[in-house]
Amino acid sequence: SSQTNNRTGGILLKIILFLIGIFMLSFPLLFWFFRYTNEKEENKDSTLALIVIASLFSGIVTLFFGFFLFLIIGSASVINNIFSLNIDKNQLIVIGISFIIYSFTIENIFEKLIEYFFGETIYALFSLALLRVASFYVIGILLKLNEDTNMIISIGVALIFLAIDVLYFFKNKKSL
């Protein structure tokens, strides 16, 4: 029981360290941005006000990343439980962090290319889902997941993202 609590504490620590890292990266960037835009204005804010504003926005960015991290880890965890893949929680955290880094970097390039070729259509969503499966599979290879587990996690998480994308797509089409 104490070993389980220790393992859970280690997992929680990894998540907290990742989120602190996001905050530590976003705070100086946002502070610099606010300070730069503040210098152009006549009514200049104090440095303390800029620090508070940068802290608040960094907190929002951190919460945003935390939400997506838990969404990805939750998706992978559900797939892990449904298919009895026996992936330990530490590996789920690493998978989640890797998928989130991919989603906020390389995927944006793929998304723009696909939108350029297909426009904002359902075909674009399915093409992006196929690219996600391939990309998640490559990430799984880099993380040394076994083939079956890697394929199931890659397809499962990509399908969950596809479901969210399709719901968002049709919601926006109705409002037009």
pLDDT score of 135 more than 80: yes
Separation of alpha carbons 100 and 53, rounded Å = 26
User: Who contacts 50 (Cβ-Cβ below 8 Å, separation ≥6)?
Assistant: 31, 34, 35, 38
Better-predicted residue by pLDDT, 37 or 12: 37
Q: What is the pTM of this model?
A: 0.83
pLDDT tens for 77-123 read: 999 999 999 998 889 999 999 999 999 999 999 999 999 999 989 99
Polymer length in residues for the chain:
176
- DSSP H helices, the chain, are 2-39, 47-82, 89-104, 106-118, 122-142, 147-175
Do residues 68 and 100 make contact, with C-beta atoms less than 8 angstroms apart?
yes
pLDDT tens for 61-77 read: 999 999 999 999 999 99
Q: Quick one: pLDDT at residue 8?
A: 63
User: What SS3 state is found at 48?
Assistant: helix
Is the torsion defined by CA of 172, 161, 159, 102 positive or negative?
A: positive
